[in-house]
Structure 1
């Protein structure tokens, strides 16, 4: 279905209760609704925004177009949690209501200040010629949850030398000042990040472009995020326009990070190493991080990508968010592990220990569509070994290790309804080591794979038949010792 401009930018206030009720019915009848991931009630979810801890709760906002699975008039939707596991949908947080966000409340971030949670976002506007004019705006949430937008932008317009692709502020405080980085495009057509400074979150001064080693790295850097961890400066961002290179950069758009010395604020300079993809799977974009009261750096990503059709589109909704992941540094690399609180979703555990010898087997009790699965392979001489999940008639999703090539492979060729086929159905990356462990979080229509305690992560949406619930373990060309533990996962939403 093609959506007209008028349909995409229709105000929610103009939609009847009957229309919304009919849309909710279609969505709720979808066989691929998730069990324990954040997903939209209706319509399209994309970038996570405003990820923060305030007033005793975690707050997470996301981009939301409520009327269908397309990118239309964006709002911020608000969900909150006391434990990063059980989420309560609060509702719409910020609506496009004025001349500075008339065509969408775009992405941004949050920070606590003077007892309030300040939400800094990009207001998207279009003129009569459909040319974009971005503004950086501010909304204030008090302890009652009431959100009030400022009546004028805090950053009005775009600095000289940059195009109207200028968005997604990420704010932090350092010493006595607030700083914000914004994703930008230079007039020469290359992506970058710029830096602003403020003493009060309302009056901002342009400091300049952050100097990096990446001089011609895509045409736009979306959703930048700067933080420091273990004395290192880390810049997350999502560059658009990166060509595929071997097993790297296979998706339509990429997300990743550079790591190095802490950002030199005065010189606007970041000294860093190579760009690394944060997730090696199919469906991961626009990650945003926060530091919680326990001192953990936690990241959430959009489990989806722009400009890709998904099988849920016909059911009136699209996309979800990844599980929250704690970041750490080991050997100069970012590791990601699911936050420990997710263990509270575990039901009764079943386990098995067996040696696989040139075979593919199922084990009693290992089946389902929403579970956590921990598998360790050791003492192996097999050419390849791994697992198949959501197995059914001519359907399976395969995660395996190719010992000869030392490659982890995520294959959704036979996962069910196809998605993003023009960008391939296999993702893989290099991995050394005698012991290989996979920790999988399988939901109704997604798989998140944490390899060797988060050294690599693969995220992918899958759309199998409801009857495809099998789990198989296999070894080819030799033997391997297998230890497996599985927990069914409880549904975690209060109101979905």
Structure 2
């Protein structure tokens, strides 16, 4: 088969990772190796609708924001991955880059749930050309009390061993995270389920894409549960991505929680996040900037899906804060426009559709006001709006193409800061140094109009900084 061809560039992004064409979803194998950051992704090059078997697409970057597309890293079809190279991770050992991934196999291709999964390995000395391990699979079968859902390995090193966390489902129909240990990445010993869902409606029937890392001496168990029911203004997407804060006891193979499940991003389009540790010690995360069963308009143009901006994670006040990496400043072009905010201020109306807008709003004199940020078409039709109530300290995000809003509450303060990144068909909003975030796709082929106002007819107090950003930061 030949890869699908692009028929239009009207929604193509300027500074986010995308495939040359076709379908992408989960980020995989996020790592740093021999002077480059590498990101892989679930990739089906033959259709914008997705399909089977899945490949691993690949891009690399010197600075996390300028990306170079590389050849497909993993192609399925071998005995260990007959029907797909599903999600996984990467780790460096002895100057070699190892990819650890799930092999997907159908017992009956006409029955999507009649499948089995195993775990495999591939390796490379140059970070571009990969060889599958000749003794795959490295884990052939799940534990005896597991269903066929057994995927998405994330591997890290701790002291004298390597550890792998896997997403799975027990025979009781509850999602869980499994732990394995190895001394050489080749032979793995099952340690047990470190944590599991307490109830489907509250914590899910399947845990996908687990990740475990440390922030300020706390362990963060990040994963994407499926099956959580909506709870007032929370958990409104089909599936979520979020975390528990706690402590992994390596000797007992148990994760002891210090928090309930917390969503990492409050927008419509964020899933399957994966982290890496940078050479200077930052924990950086990237997610899939879409959601299962959402309408993906760019499919009409021969492509679908993108990855988020890389984001630095920090632990503050027992919450994970998420901010774009410092390197996004490398995307800025030309001069910064500085605007003083009054009652209503147009921030963007023409020119580039690839911008960064930084807002600093003084709210100490506003008692029960509503500040509204609106993204409109040139005909003044609303594409998206974000409103902030100064009394309840709550945000509401509305999108015209969705029936339901998204919500976020922030800690009360006399100032609200927003960083907004618009990239042709995506918007990422970071509130108060990343206390809350919204990740969104939108579809309008021209430069939108971005404005801010106090709908209570009182003056705004604050400042806006507007930067144009590069529109060709990813090379194909």
Which TM bucket (shorter chain)? over 0.9
- 1:407 and 2:386 aligned: no
- 1:205 and 2:185 aligned: no
Distance of aligned partners of 1:365 and 1:469 in 2 relative to their CA distance in 1, 3 Å threshold: closer
CA distance in 2: counterparts of 1:495 and 1:390, whole angstroms: 30
- 1:24 and 2:5 aligned: yes
Distance of aligned partners of 1:281 and 1:366 in 2 relative to their CA distance in 1, 3 Å threshold: same
SS in 2 for 1:270: strand
- 1:493 and 2:444 aligned: no
Deviation string 1:5-51 (CA, Å, 9 cap, x unpaired) is xxxxxxxxxx14xxx4xx3241xx14111111111111111000000
Counterpart for residue 373 of structure 1: 357
- 1:94 and 2:74 aligned: yes
CA distance in 1: counterparts of 2:127 and 2:317, whole angstroms: 44
Q: 1:21-420 maps to which residues of 2 (within 5 A)?
A: 23-26=4-7, 29-72=8-51, 73-128=53-108, 130=111, 131-143=114-126, 145-151=128-134, 152-211=136-195, 214=198, 216=200, 217-261=203-247, 263-272=248-257, 273-347=259-333, 348-356=335-343, 360-362=344-346, 368-379=352-363, 380-381=365-366, 383-393=369-379, 394-413=381-400, 418=401
Contact 1:372 1:486 in 2 (8 A): yes
CA distance in 1: counterparts of 2:66 and 2:347, whole angstroms: 31
Counterpart for residue 5 of structure 1: none
CA distance in 1: counterparts of 2:9 and 2:34, whole angstroms: 35
Aligned-pair CA distance for 1:364: 7.9
SS in 1 for 2:79: coil
SS in 2 for 1:343: helix
Deviation string 1:106-126 (CA, Å, 9 cap, x unpaired) is 000000011101100000011
- Give the number of aligned pairs: 462
CA distance in 2: counterparts of 1:150 and 1:97, whole angstroms: 14
Deviation string 1:362-414 (CA, Å, 9 cap, x unpaired) is 2587764110000111044261113223542113321221123321122112x
Aligned-pair CA distance for 1:213: 7.3
Aligned-pair CA distance for 1:69: 2.3
CA distance in 1: counterparts of 2:210 and 2:348, whole angstroms: 46
Distance of aligned partners of 1:300 and 1:494 in 2 relative to their CA distance in 1, 3 Å threshold: closer
Distance of aligned partners of 1:291 and 1:364 in 2 relative to their CA distance in 1, 3 Å threshold: closer
Calculate the TM-score normalised by the size of structure 1.
0.90
Contact 2:210 2:223 in 1 (8 A): yes
Contact 1:172 1:180 in 2 (8 A): yes
CA distance in 2: counterparts of 1:43 and 1:256, whole angstroms: 28
Aligned-pair CA distance for 1:472: 1.3
SS in 1 for 2:299: helix
Contact 1:109 1:170 in 2 (8 A): yes
CA distance in 1: counterparts of 2:62 and 2:208, whole angstroms: 29
Aligned-pair CA distance for 1:92: 0.1
CA distance in 1: counterparts of 2:341 and 2:424, whole angstroms: 27
Calculate the TM-score normalised by the size of structure 2.
0.93
SS in 2 for 1:103: coil
CA distance in 2: counterparts of 1:409 and 1:144, whole angstroms: 43
CA distance in 1: counterparts of 2:168 and 2:385, whole angstroms: 38
Aligned-pair CA distance for 1:449: 0.2
CA distance in 2: counterparts of 1:144 and 1:80, whole angstroms: 9
Aligned CA RMSD, in angstroms, stands at: 1.7
CA distance in 1: counterparts of 2:395 and 2:196, whole angstroms: 31
CA distance in 2: counterparts of 1:362 and 1:211, whole angstroms: 49
Q: Give the gaps of 5 or more residues in structure 2.
A: none
CA distance in 2: counterparts of 1:364 and 1:177, whole angstroms: 52
Aligned-pair CA distance for 1:144: 6.0
SS in 1 for 2:444: coil
Deviation string 1:413-458 (CA, Å, 9 cap, x unpaired) is 2xxxx3xx3xx34111112222111100001001000001101010
Q: Give the gaps of 5 or more residues in structure 1.
A: 1-14
Distance of aligned partners of 1:213 and 1:165 in 2 relative to their CA distance in 1, 3 Å threshold: closer
Aligned-pair CA distance for 1:145: 2.7
Contact 1:155 1:204 in 2 (8 A): yes
Deviation string 1:264-306 (CA, Å, 9 cap, x unpaired) is 0121111111110000000000000010100000000000112
Distance of aligned partners of 1:282 and 1:332 in 2 relative to their CA distance in 1, 3 Å threshold: same
